[in-house]
Amino acid sequence: MENKLIDHILHLADTTLILAQRNAEWCGHGPILEQDIAITNISLDLLGQSRNFYQYAAILIGGDTDEDKLAYLRKEREFKNLLLVEQPNGDWGQTILRQYFFSQYQYLLFEKLQNSKDEQLAAISAKALKEIKYHLRWSSEWVVRLGDGTGESRSRMLKAIDELWRYTGEMFVPAAYETAVDIISLKNEWEQKVKTIFEESSLPLPENVFMQTGGKQGVHTEHLGYILAELQYVQRAYPNSTW
Amino acid sequence: MVVDKEISPNKIEQILETVCDPEVPVLTIMDLGIVRDIKINGEEIEIIITPTYTGCPAMDMIAMNIRLALSENGFHKVTITSVLAPAWTTDWMSETGKQKLKAYGIAAPNKKFDIPADGVECPQCNSLNTKLISEFGSTACKALYQCNDCKEPFDYFKCH
């Protein structure tokens, strides 16, 4: 029971950390200054959320563990993040679409989690929800802008859908530890919301795509190792170094 | 300083009034409404605070500054506890805080612009003819605007 909760919290922590790290790669490289600031703001929000989850997981695990050890000293196979969030940034369109798919999912999920019987999980989720509203509004506006924009932006969005859609199914396949909320029940609403935004963007909704899974169980695409190599470098090279 | 009398919550509040937000230094932590409770038990003081945004990097510094300010006033047995629920909202910002923000050049949170949109009052010239540039600004709590009349860019402290 306790282990299930710990694993679930770590899954939420890892997912938000890895997406924060990916978005932070845009720092100084955004298409225009305001959007560079927007994507890094979202990164910071996600990092804050992941810290809250890691801190809570550390309390549940007990002993001498802490948020930093959980983020910097676990190996690839121990990370339980969604495959979607570890996918490369690609171009701006791919980053936008990844953020939109995730924010739409995170919004529906956290709406449920804020009513969790676990008080701390509920508190973190309720707080994060206020931030997610901004991420969702911002990313869905961008999907429409690019999907319904120029021939070039549209073709890039089509490519991004082709690249990322296969990683969206995993969100709704519950892991053994995801007992706090009925994940499957979110699928229909997520698809309806995405359908609405895609219709507004004149983008096609893919059908019959084989869905990749495994991230929640620690089986990742080749990209996660590279992310962790960079993220954990200082702690691995200089163990126990502090800021 | 020797503290031999009972510590009054009023005194502690006065000290906390001197602790400012490092990113928006015109606001004290009391103006922001992030101090949720002050508990006094003999010589021990517990300050309950709540973060504005989950990723706000100022929170660690705020906790340190609370400790410093109390220590300078002779209070050394201090615990700072961070709680997340109920989640912080700009509704807790004091009226004085909102006036100070405006004087500093930042538009104060306004329920009418719960979702940032064009038309937030310019803190420089009071014009309503302003445009939203980005919902995300230089810190997590602000959005970026420009006034169409006086042409000045300005920050809007978002409703949260």
What is the DSSP secondary-structure string of A6-54? HHHHHHHHHHHHHHHHHHHTTTTTSSSHHHHHHHHHHHHHHHHHHHHHH
Contact A47 B160 (CB under 8 A): no
Same domain, B76 and B100: no
Q: Which of B33, B68, B88 represents a domain boundary (last residue)?
A: B88
Nearest CA in chain A to B143: A38
**Please, are residues A79 and A232 in contact by the beta-carbon 8 Å criterion?**
no
- The predicted pLDDT at position B152 comes to 95
Number of domains into which chain B is organized: 2
User: Which residues in chain B land under pLDDT 70?
Assistant: 1-5
Query: Looking at residue B55, which CATH number applies to its domain?
Result: 3.30.300.130
Contact A37 B160 (CB under 8 A): no
The ranges assigned to domains in chain A are 2-237
Same domain, B71 and B101: no
Token duo for residue B112: 């009418």
**Interatomic CA distance for residues B92 and B30, integer angstroms:** 9
Contact B135 A38 (CB under 8 A): yes
Nearest CA in chain B to A45: B55
Per-residue pLDDT of chain A (243 residues; tens, 9 = 90+): 469 999 999 999 999 999 999 999 999 999 999 999 999 999 999 999 999 999 999 999 999 999 999 999 999 999 999 999 999 999 999 999 999 999 999 999 999 999 999 999 999 999 999 999 999 999 999 999 999 999 999 999 999 999 999 999 999 999 999 998 999 999 999 999 999 999 999 999 999 999 999 999 999 999 999 999 999 999 999 999 987
Q: Which of B57, B88, B119 represents a domain boundary (last residue)?
A: B88
Q: Which of B88, B122, B149 represents a domain boundary (last residue)?
A: B88
Which chain A residues have a beta carbon less than 8 Å from that of B137?
37, 41
- CB-based burial, B58-86: b 16+ in 10 Å, e otherwise: bbeebbebbbebbeeeebeebeeebebee
Q: Which of B36, B50, B54 to mutate to test the interface with A (most CBs of A within 10 A)?
A: B54
Token duo for residue A219: 């089986």
Which chain A residues have a beta carbon less than 8 Å from that of B87?
123, 126-127, 130
3-state secondary structure of B40: strand
Same domain, B101 and B124: yes
Nearest CA in chain A to B59: A48
Which chain A residues have a beta carbon less than 8 Å from that of B140?
41, 44-45, 131
- The predicted pLDDT at position B104 comes to 95
Nearest 10 degrees: CA dihedral of A47, A50, A54, A60?
Answer: 150
| Domain region containing B51 | 9-88
- The predicted pLDDT at position B4 comes to 54
- The predicted pLDDT at position B56 comes to 87
Q: Would B73 be classed as within a structural domain?
A: yes
CATH top class, domain A2-237: mainly alpha
- The predicted pLDDT at position B3 comes to 52
- The predicted pLDDT at position A2 comes to 64
- The predicted pLDDT at position A134 comes to 96
Whether A47 has its CB under 8 Å from any CB of chain B: the answer is yes
- The predicted pLDDT at position B6 comes to 77
